[in-house]
Amino acid sequence: MSLIKSISGIRGTIGGRVGDALTPVDTVKFVAAYATYIKKTTHGKSPKIVLGRDARISGDMVHRLVSATLMGMGFDVIDIGLATTPTTEIAVPKEDASGGIILTASHNPKQWNALKLLDSTGEFLNAEAGAEILVIAEAEDFTFAEVDYLGSVTEKDYLDAHIQEVLNLDLVDVEAIKQANFKVAIDCVNSVGGIALPPLLKALGVKEVLEIHCEPHGNFAHNPEPLPENLTDLADAIKEQKADVGFAVDPDVDRLAIICENGAPFGEEYTLVAIADYILGNTLGNTVSNLSSTRALRDVTEKHGATYTAAAVGEVNVVKKMKETDAIIGGEGNGGVIYPASHYGRDALVGIALFLTQMAKADMKVSELRATYPSYFMSKQKIDLTSGINIDELLLAMKEKYKEEDIIDIDGVKIEFKDKWVHLRKSNTEPIIRIYTEAPSTEEAEALGKQIISEIKDIVGL
């Protein structure tokens, strides 16, 4: 069994021994640590936490543990029940809450669950906050409330408010979507997307919706990561039913994958690229994505006369860089769209509304729209190293070897060539280096990765 304690949250498998998995004891400990941190750092905010969860099987059990622990720490709980991650994020500031917890392991299989921790703005905690919570948890340095100061629970539903916020966005054109008479297929992988996407599409005026795996029971019909190999049911339905487009989301609905009308994948890297192109065509501004995302976003941004900036990997890092550069659109190459006009969090509902508007206004098939963007192909490889090798020194050696190229070293080492790049990052949990490459063809991307692996082996004598 597994328990991963990181600055971005607590993730683990259900069942097993304390300390080795996300057991009830571990859940209580880390929620109490989070509550302790929130008490210490929020001033002028009511002791209130928003709590939402995806539909995975363990969700009800973990939800009850988290809610009771927060009450025991003296916090009132705003329980929004089965809700997407972005819905929970927007609920926090609307409630003027001091924080939020989302119970979801994102794209991990059904045996996993996790605690995603938010601050009072509804954004993920930064690295410093996450590190402090881990220290509090390990020391068990928390005090529960006495009987007269226990918290309460209030149940609310924030889906309608979330959908209304999406409809109110200036660049979402409901009338254009209605006039287009779209037929849309969706795969919600048996989680909360099945609750959120059908009413969203109805509100947007979509003519017909083909619902696939929309029952939110948590027994995922396929691997829940929205990658092409896992979306064959959706692709087949699109072709058989002659749908105009297909949308797939992960269990907590912060990632959006698009399937073309011919059943071909639009490409998860290109969800953000296309939506950024639409946004920039209407509002000039800067863009941000992480270092491991496609170069196509930079190309599209510069085509519009704006500036692209790369951020370290991790949503909190992307959001920080977006604020620093006044970016109007950003996100990650895994289908994560962050649109500050709505909120600073990846949001598939926002992505769907903007993409359907773009489709309606462009008046072209999805495959035709995809063909308007530069094509790059990625390869993701890794190299296992013996524990005695200093990975930091190895990365410095690679940086020196390619010093004549453009180098970005804010998160590992990224080497930019004329028409391709390689990003080297060390793992935080094992002695490996992750090697991501992108080039104009799959063969070139894989060849570059193999070349870098060979050079690393030469340096360390493997």
* Complete DSSP assignment for 382-414: EEE--TTS-HHHHHHHHHHHTTTSEEE-SSSEE
Nearest 10 degrees: Cα torsion 383, 308, 334, 175: -170
Rounded Cα distance between 324 and 101, Å, is 26
Rounded Cα distance between 118 and 100, Å, is 5
Phi, psi of 252 (to 5 degrees): -110, 5
Residues 49 and 32: beta-carbon distance below 8 Å: no
Strand arrangement, sheet containing 208-212: 208-212, 183-187, 245-249, 256-259
Q: Quick check: is 106 catalytic?
A: yes
Rounded Cα distance between 278 and 280, Å, is 6
List 58, 67, 98, 106, catalytic entry? 106
Long-range contacts of the stretch 167-171 (C-beta < 8 A, 24+)? 167/203, 167/204, 167/353, 169/339, 169/341, 169/342, 169/350, 169/353, 169/354, 170/341, 171/278, 171/279, 171/282, 171/283, 171/341, 171/354, 171/357
Buried b / exposed e along 410-432 (16+ C-beta atoms within 10 A): ebbbbbbeeebbbbbbbeeeeee
Catalytic residue positions, numbered: 106
